[in-house]
Structure 1
């Protein structure tokens, strides 16, 4: 059994969720060529493909960020609700956000927020990554958003993986019934070794190994007259090309970026890595920043973390605009739920599923607005309540993917990507 570890998070339920992937006996033997072969076989049954240049960046805030202290401040609420932070105006008249988001405030015409999302009380990224809570996914195995993109891009991806997770692996990033071929590539895991030549192996030695491989293949062709080996050779060639081309390896190497740009992203380098991966042709990148399970010292924690989020978002979105990618790349940032409007005795906020907020940008969606609102004390949606699935349906549409499309599950039964497929019309314009 191979266990690939990612980042770890300890939440209030006492369980340390170290993101990991366990691969059984067959999976442990998979080579890069095997994965490419699996993806090609999987893509053969795909009925629809999005425009190849469309892409998504999904930023996950693990633990549940406080909606009351980011994009949905309540300055007129009683002190035990409104908290310590003050709202500031943005460059869009009538729109205010947290004082610790000054960079976003200056560019709100390039951003939008949804403030009336109804969630579930569950410490898991499964809901926002798949549209279904973990208790459902443990049985139904719905695929993650990135795995769907991988499924639809498998036939067109050449030297880059279609789905990259910079935050390791979790149930939420799993491909479910789409199959192992659509798990994300995780640069922090052993899979990263597939992007470089082994220690001491030069290109000349690699050529010798290819020659040796060809000789074995010739022998096997004599045994296997069915033509299967000629098909396998093409996947071996693709695997070698992915290693030697260095496209993804270069994207992950931030030393190749302009030093002035690296300075802008100092402390939030994952945002820069995500941008570089998207430019390299990756279809979906997920990342995370900070820990947001703030049952105590909520404001002390957010004073440290919100400026980092502001820095990362502002630089990422501005760079996408400067590179002409803002219409093709959709970015979303959210956590699993909001936090209690009333501050507790430990200066913290507890879990609050009735309403949460999400930031969204790009993808040709209508920016410079706030969609929906919560009640005066931030307790529940006041107008325009929406579900996580509706947000995901909107993102799928921005990528040219029909959220009503179906894939066969493990039993061969066609299953829709989402049950609630009504998009957020205000964002579609």
Structure 2
């Protein structure tokens, strides 16, 4: 049995971010073999033959909406009630300054870029930044996440490595939408461990016995299935078992296999190490999150704790990718759903602010060492070069070798573009 469990998180709107899906072997549930079978069947229905991509993406989500003015777009000359408590520091790229609490990134800015003029929407959801469409649209349109698109494009490849892994569990933004359940992410955390590794005390011999038992159940289901969809289950079961027994991802998730010096460098931000090991193993998309950024109160106190963690995780990850010669093969993006109000409120916090936010980008063969665009003098809206969230995602897709104008059929058979807004961030692609 496969089980996907998302971590619970509540924001100021009182909505829990827990999404739960249990996948069983009977009734309306699906086995992993079912998912693989559905994935291959859906590939034949693609309206435009996709170009396959072997590059990978790491999508880092800062849930709650991080303050753009206290990270990458500081306003030291603004009035005190706008500029806040933090000071900007120089990076190793002339003319680019970032927050003093991110010194590691400052020292390697030639390997990073930021878009400081991204316009968002006022929604507490990761839908927009992972699909390119706001949650209010996705509730009915069911656009897929970037990880699900990558999964779809790799669906016909025989591989023991899952194409899409979410280290933060399930959320609305990671859903496959009209691409179907076969393209949900695998989740190695919590109760989802059974997705990518053998359960406790289950040997490969016991797994073989379970497979034989499952096959007998499938024979019974096949007899009563008038649609014929159970045909060929044995081949899919073999592929499903291979994903678990091959051990490629199991080894990637086992951080004890990382040299001690490497584990020490990632101490406290181990998710970043896991993400690096997963893309090294061939996973196409990894999502992770860190911290809580809904700072209506005590914004600066919270950020003093969290920014050094983010700084360490990002800088160590990006440096590792460069050291391994993977900088052009992996594109990394870090952002939240919106920015924070330019003016500090009476609780020393900043509230929701969708007119402008920042997005950090690295790798993928994109142009690094930049600070693209900026907000106005008080951080209220883009001063120049405004970009939408889909524009950033379009850039990521292009870096992965994926055409954002590609179409897939939705549940009604209507061809749907991966992104409707496909204009990229020109400064990043040259």
Give the TM-score, by structure 2 length. Answer: 0.93
Which residue in the other structure is 2:21 paired with? 21
Which residue in the other structure is 2:100 paired with? 99
TM-superposed CA distance for 1:20, in Å, is 3.1
Which residue in the other structure is 1:340 paired with? 341
Task: Give yes or no for contact 1:50–1:399 (8 Å, CA) kept in 2.
Answer: no
TM-superposed CA distance for 1:191, in Å, is 3.9
Moved more, 394-403 or 205-214: 205-214
TM-superposed CA distance for 1:36, in Å, is 1.1
Which residue in the other structure is 1:389 paired with? 390
Which residue in the other structure is 1:373 paired with? 374
Which residue in the other structure is 1:114 paired with? 115
Distance (whole Å) between structure 1 residues aligned to residue 203 and residue 4 of structure 2: 27
Distance (whole Å) between structure 1 residues aligned to residue 109 and residue 118 of structure 2: 20
Q: Does 1:277 align with 2:278?
A: yes
TM-superposed CA distance for 1:232, in Å, is 2.1
Distance 1:375 1:228, change over 3 A: closer
Superposed CA deviations along residues 255-305 of structure 1, whole A, max 9, x for unmatched, are 111111111111111000001110111000000000000011000000000
Give the TM-score, by structure 1 length. Answer: 0.93
Task: Give yes or no for contact 1:334–1:357 (8 Å, CA) kept in 2.
Answer: yes
TM-superposed CA distance for 1:238, in Å, is 0.9
Let me know the Cα RMSD of the aligned residues: 2.6
The runs of 5 or more residues in structure 1 that have no matched partner are none
Moved more, 29-38 or 375-384: 29-38
Task: Give yes or no for contact 1:87–1:97 (8 Å, CA) kept in 2.
Answer: yes
Superposed CA deviations along residues 318-366 of structure 1, whole A, max 9, x for unmatched, are 0111111100100000000000111111111011010000100000000
Distance 1:80 1:286, change over 3 A: same
TM-superposed CA distance for 1:178, in Å, is 0.6
Task: Give yes or no for contact 1:51–1:399 (8 Å, CA) kept in 2.
Answer: no
Residue pairs, 1:301-340, within 5 angstroms:
301-340=302-341
Superposed CA deviations along residues 146-179 of structure 1, whole A, max 9, x for unmatched, are 1111111111251011111111111111011111
Which residue in the other structure is 2:31 paired with? 31
Q: Does 1:404 align with 2:409?
A: no
SS for the counterpart of 2:365 is coil
Residue pairs, 1:148-159, within 5 angstroms:
148-159=149-160
Superposed CA deviations along residues 174-200 of structure 1, whole A, max 9, x for unmatched, are 011111101111112544214344554
Which residue in the other structure is 1:257 paired with? 258
Distance (whole Å) between structure 1 residues aligned to residue 100 and residue 314 of structure 2: 15
Distance 1:290 1:215, change over 3 A: closer
TM-superposed CA distance for 1:209, in Å, is 5.6
Distance 1:268 1:245, change over 3 A: same
Which residue in the other structure is 2:142 paired with? 141
